[in-house]
Amino acid sequence: MTSRINTNFTLIPNQKYRRSNRRSCYLSKAFDSDSQPLSTLGNFKALPLEIFQIILKYLTGLLFKRCTLLLPTKERLKYIHKILAEVSCFKFSGCAAPIQCLGLPCYGMFLQTLTAGWDELECHRVYNFLCELTNLSRKMQTVVCSKPGSARKLELRIRLFCRNVLLDHWTHRSDSAFWLTRILKPWPMVNQARLLYIIFGPISPQDGQVVWQKMVEGPTDESSLKGLADAIKLLYDADTKEWTADDVISLVDELSVVPREWLLENNARLLILSGNNICFTFMASKAVNGRATELARLIVFLALVCEKELYCMDWVVKMMQKVCKVFSTPMERNNFLQSVANAFACIIMEMMQLVMSGEYSYRDEDDRSFLNLFHLVHAQANFHKEVLYLTMNTLST
């Protein structure tokens, strides 16, 4: 009996088979060519940086983290660096236009994804690895030991690397405080203040470089001080033994003479932006250390800033009242209050003499001096009005 061929199934057409055969040959050749030494990124080497940023944000960071899970930290970092080093914009000085470049922010997001959930010891190793890789400590030493502004391009590179890679991508303040501590703590206090100014201080809108004379030449605005104030609050609120209240207050004190002594108005504005706790602790420190005259002048400029910015003047009066309790004897307290009254009178006279002297060669400078005097006279009036309110309310109760 002749056997019958089952024709119930569909035969594969010969043409389709040949096409698939050619495809398999092509793939085999492609795999053979891949076995040759190629760039780590292969066909992705020319991938636009914007697309690479999206990939890092949504996939690659986590994928790298999982793929290297069983490797020691140092080996994981070496492996990742080998891949990222193919893109020059991920290097410390790799991009010719660093301000507009997305490379370092990409690197920062990748680092945040990689180290999320790691303990502090492992993150210490990451920081040490990055310092070794970029020679960051040596670069920092160069700028803190040089005259401010003498290495402007290096200052800018350090600022961008620290902000974009190490500091700006964390959702929890404790993480930001950890990395900022790693940057600052190896250095003496005076160098910590210099680094803090480089990383968070005011910059030029034209070229992004640090403006060193901003706090020295004249009154500045809130935007120039906000970054510094936020960094100080971050360290003050850090739940760690590495930063005591005294450490932060000493840092603020050092910062106020970088690169030279600030105008007291700018110092007062920084304290207001830093919040009540830091402002009071700073003022109480001066009271305890016998610097009542400095403290009295600071009260005047706190009142001036509140007048200019339309803040509540009773805040200054209540802060002064709180500081008065720090003095150990009634005589010290009364002497301090007398110093505040004298400070208002002296500073008004100083500003009046400046206006009347006509030293400025430009009309706008003269107008600013007069306006400053105008604000200070109103600040004194409103300050004493709040003192009278407080006194009368106390008597009525």
Residue pLDDT, tens place only, 124-156? 999 999 999 899 999 999 999 999 999 999 999
pLDDT 10s digits, 316-367: 999 999 999 999 999 999 999 999 999 999 999 999 998 888 765 556 666 7
Share of the chain above pLDDT 70, in %: 82
Measure CA of the first residue to CA of the last residue in the chain; give whole Å. Answer: 123
pTM over 0.85: no
Q: Which residue has the tokens 């983290």?
A: 65
Q: Which residues of the chain have pLDDT under 70?
A: 1-60, 62, 64, 67-68, 70, 359-366
The pLDDT of residue 86 is 76
Given this model, what pLDDT does residue 124 score? Answer: 94
Residue tagged 């009364």 (tokens): 334
pLDDT at 4: 42
Q: Which long-range contacts (CB under 8 A, 24 or more apart) does 167-176 make?
A: 167/199, 168/105, 168/108, 169/105, 169/108, 169/109, 169/111, 169/112, 170/112, 173/234, 173/237, 173/238, 174/238, 174/239, 176/234
Report the pLDDT value the prediction gives residue 362, as an integer from 0 to 100.
57
**What is the rounded distance in angstroms from the CA atom of residue 92 to the CA atom of residue 88?**
9
State residue 22's pLDDT score: 42
What pLDDT does 55 receive?
54
Note the pLDDT of residue 14: 45
| pLDDT reported for residue 82 | 75
